[in-house]
Structure 1
């Protein structure tokens, strides 16, 4: 018999799965696949959430986040929303580099993209968008944050996480450990087209008042824009912006 905590945990997983499919929505089968839950269980949870206004359903039968979540989020925003402070930094980063710049936050063992600003270069990568979630160690925001956790926390996470099923063998534990070490050495993370071939990214962690990596800034673009001769320049700009944002956000944490 399910306990209340089981039900709450499954409900949270379903809502997060739906959020990763915004703005096009998700089918019941897609939500089941993303959560690892049985389809009948997912359908039952979604139907209950629909009744509470926490999810919505379009004419094609796809599930979307509901209006009640918007109202709840608006109420909570004054305590948690830091995007207004991050926006100018993200915009300047996009203007300085010409690439698409992003601000992401850590939520448990995932990162959530909160902001996107496109630069002047006309060809863009669309791997990242506002609301998308990735596990720690996947994408440059998740890798930058993972790299600045303690060694024991990194190892505990890697022992539990199975990143290869969804993201391929290039996200095996040893490969992620190697990228963590490289990120610590150079200060910023690099994603050489590991999620989508030809789409590169770089990321830097942003720290809270306790020196914990809580957010990240990142850049994405086509591979030709991230050549070895330019990565040093982009990395320096990223680290400078991340340091500035760390100082800006600390009084709020």
Structure 2
């Protein structure tokens, strides 16, 4: 028999799976594949979540999407957690100054969630990241920047219980990941040298709260040719300056 904690954990997994598939949502079969749960279990959970208004089925479709009740709950919680109003000008500034796609991501447990995307003027863009995508810490430059600046015990705990190679390739093996974490601490900013999609590079810098904890990250993505040599140094400087200023703004807000 499932305990209440089992059910809550499975409901949370289903909601996250739907979130990752917004705005089009996901079928029951797709949500089951994304969560690794049996299809009958996912169907039962979706029906229960629908009764509470937490999910709904698109009219005339087999796709499930997040429900209105989640929006209302989120609006209430945003007064405590939403810092996108502070971050957006910095994301826009980074996109304007570099011509690349700029992002703002938040840490949520062992993952980062992309909250803002702003495309720059350079016509060739990377589409690896988009608003709403969730990635484990250590994957992509935002998650790498955050993981590198966590307290050492937290970083080691994450590494001890996490295996990334099966989903993201051998470049995310422990030895390589530790080298990138060390490089990030040395430089201050993180570099993803095409480790998710070949030719798609990214750079990121951590943003800190009032307790000096890395809760967010600013990042840039683009094609490899745009992230080498002197331009890499320039982007790193711009990211660190913007991350420092945004950290100050968040601290003054009292986060």
Q: TM-score, normalised by structure 1?
A: 0.96
Counterpart-to-counterpart distance in 2, 1:79 and 1:85: 13
Question: Counterparts of 1:28 and 1:120 in 2: how far apart (Å)?
Answer: 39
Give the aligned CA root-mean-square deviation in angstroms.
1.3
Name structure 2 gaps, 5 residues minimum: none
Map of 1:242 onto structure 2 = 243
Q: Which residue of 2 aligns with 1:66?
A: 67
Stretch moving more, 196-205 or 165-174:
165-174
- Deviation for aligned residue 1:193: 1.3
For the residues of structure 2 that align with 1:150 and 1:9, how far apart are their CA atoms? 26
C-alpha separation in 1, matches of 2:166 and 2:49: 28
SS of aligned partner of 1:8: helix
Give how far 1:27 is off. 2.6
Give runs of aligned pairs for residues 72-151 of structure 1, distance below 5 A. Answer: 72-151=73-152
Match of 1:215 in 2: 216
- Please identify runs of 4+ aligned residues in structure 1 that moved more than 6 A: none
What 5-or-longer segments of structure 1 have no aligned partner? none
Summarize the Cα distance change of 1:90–1:68 in structure 2 as closer, same or farther, 3 Å threshold. Answer: same
Instruction: Count matched residues.
Output: 253
The alignment partner of 1:125 has SS state of: coil
How far the C-alpha of 1:210 sits from its partner, in A, is 1.1
Deviations 1:187-214 (A, max 9, x none): 1111111112211110000011111101
Give per-residue Cα distances to partners, 1:154-194, cap 9 Å, x unaligned. 12111111212211121122221111111111111111111
Aligned mates of 1:24, 1:167 — CA distance in 2: 24
Matches within 5 A, 1:170-189: 170-189=171-190
Which TM-score applies when normalising by structure 2?
A: 0.95
Query: Mean alpha-carbon deviation: is it higher for 148-157 or for 238-247?
Result: 148-157
For residues 29 and 182 of structure 2, the distance between their equivalents in structure 1, rounded to whole angstroms, comes to 38
238-247 or 170-179, which deviates more: 170-179
Any idea what SS the aligned residue of 1:129 has? coil
